[in-house]
Each structure stands twice: as C-alpha cells, then as structure tokens.
C-alpha cells in the first residue's frame, strides 16, 4: 500500500490542529509537572530541568502527556481508532531494526560531524558547545539514574516522538498538502515536520543537526510506510550520544 494512503483517515487540517494543541498542552503539563516535582521533593529554588534529574523526568513526562494525548485523540476522533493502522504500528519487524539502527548510528557519528564541519572555523569550540546539553543531561544520572535516563532517552523518546512527529504531525501535514503532486506533498511535510522537531528541543545551536536528522527520520517513515525504522534509528541516535558521554564521565 502507498504510505500516503495510510494518512487519509487523519483528515488533514483537523488532525493538524489536534497536533498543535497537543504540543501546547504538553508544554503546559511539563511546566506543571516540574513545579509539582520540585515542591513535593523540597528541591532548592535553584533546581531546574538542567540540574535536577527529577525535574528533567517530570518535564519529559509532562510534554509526552500532551503529545500522546494528541496522537490518541486524533486516532479516535479523526482516524480509524486504531493506532496500529493510523500511525504505522501495524508492523514492527526485525527488518526495521536492521534498517534503523545503522541509520541512527551513522547519523550521529558521520552525518552530524560532516554537517557542522564547515562551521568549525567560524564558531570557537563548536564541538564542545554542541555536546554541552547532552553532557549536562548525562551528568544528572548516577547509579540507577543512568539506567533511568537510558530508558527515557533510548526507549521512551523514540516511541513518543516518532508517534507524534513522524506519525501524527507528518501524516496530517502530508494530507494537508495532498492537493500538490505526491513528491511535493511528501517533501513539504517532511521538511516542516523536521524543522518543528528540531525547534521542539529548544537548542538553537543543535537545531541544524536535529532538523536534518528529523528529515532522515521522515524519509524512513515515508519510504517504508511504518514507524519501526524511524523508531530504531531515533533510539540508536540517542544511544550513541549517551554511550559516548558515559565513557567520558
């Protein structure tokens, strides 16, 4: 089946509105969850998502609440009611792992360095600045905290973010541009969803790399018509960073 046909039940602009609302609700919930976590744990007033593991996890859970709510709502109200059918979860096979993991690994150790290489002589200490956010997050975990971080970054993030960005958002954008030729609608949907994926991480310096990798993930989704390859690629991409930083620490 043509991957585009899987998006038709999402009803275009309606599902796109749901995606936008879900993103905004997610950020609202993230703020609330962080405030509750800091209050309940009696954390110092200086605690933030950048220096507290609990606050970081609360922030992710809050954001994911909004994103997953949008995915589920869109499926039930604007789709078939089946996440498997509406968001390409009908098949998660070994082939997805074989395809996705190398893409994620190469994306992190080859594509990103090559992408930023032209800027090495323009931005002082660029490599260090690029890795700083990830180093900060990794530094929050100790003992069991490391395994908790790994669970969230290597398993949780790929599942939730792929369902939202390459499932709901990409699908609704593609249908929104369905009046254009197939190649044009796919290109526009992939680019817009990739840029929004990069912006959602809130790291200006990393935006180029995240958006470009988001474009790769969108290409996987469109090529294979399911989320399995992009989920494994996303997980491998995050895992490479986590493993490299743990070796440093």
Q: DSSP state, 227?
A: S
Q: Which residues of 162-174 are buried (b: 16+ CB within 10 A; e: fewer)?
A: bbbbbbbbbbbbb
- Res 248: pLDDT: 55
The runs of H, that is alpha helices, within 201-227 are 207-224
Residue with the two structure tokens 């975990």: 141
Six token digits for residue 233: 């690629």
Q: How far is CA 214 from CA 37, 54, 230, in A?
A: 31, 27, 9
Q: Return the structure tokens found at 139.
A: 């530094």
Contacts of 165 (CB under 8 A, 6+ apart): 193, 196, 197, 200, 214, 217
Q: What is the pLDDT of residue 213?
A: 98
What pLDDT is attached to residue 1? 41
Q: What's the pTM value of the predicted model, to 2 decimals?
A: 0.91
Task: Give me the tens of pLDDT residue by residue for the chain, a chain 249 residues long.
Answer: 444 445 545 666 688 899 999 999 999 999 999 999 989 988 777 777 777 888 899 999 999 999 999 999 999 887 788 888 888 786 778 899 999 999 999 999 999 999 999 998 888 888 888 888 777 777 776 778 888 889 999 999 999 999 999 999 999 999 889 899 999 999 999 999 999 999 999 899 999 999 999 999 999 999 998 999 999 999 999 999 888 877 655
Task: Report the length, in residues, of the chain.
Answer: 249
């Amino acid at each position: 089946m043509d991957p585009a046909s899987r998006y038709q039940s999402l009803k275009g602009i309606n599902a796109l509105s749901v995606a936008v609302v879900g993103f905004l609700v997610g950020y609202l919930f993230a703020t609330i969850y962080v405030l509750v976590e800091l209050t309940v744990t009696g954390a110092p007033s200086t605690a933030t998502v950048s220096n507290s593991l609990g606050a970081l996890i609360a922030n992710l859970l809050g954001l994911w609440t909004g994103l997953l709510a949008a995915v589920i709502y869109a499926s039930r109200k604007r789709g078939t009611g089946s996440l498997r059918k509406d968001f390409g979860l009908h098949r998660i096979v070994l082939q997805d792992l074989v395809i996705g993991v190398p893409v994620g690994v190469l994306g992190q150790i080859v594509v990103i360095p090559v992408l930023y290489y032209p800027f090495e002589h323009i931005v002082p200490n660029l490599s260090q600045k690029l890795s700083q956010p990830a180093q900060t997050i990794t530094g929050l975990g100790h003992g069991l905290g490391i395994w908790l971080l790994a669970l969230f970054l290597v398993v949780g993030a790929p599942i939730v973010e792929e369902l939202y960005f390459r499932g709901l958002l990409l699908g609704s954008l593609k249908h929104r541009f369905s009046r254009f030729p197939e190649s044009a609608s796919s290109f526009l949907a992939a680019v817009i969803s990739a840029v929004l994926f990069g912006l959602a991480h809130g790291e200006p310096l990393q935006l180029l790399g995240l958006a470009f990798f988001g474009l790769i993930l969108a290409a996987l989704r469109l090529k294979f018509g399911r989320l399995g390859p992009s989920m494994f690629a996303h997980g491998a991409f995050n895992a490479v960073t986590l493993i490299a930083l743990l070796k440093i620490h």
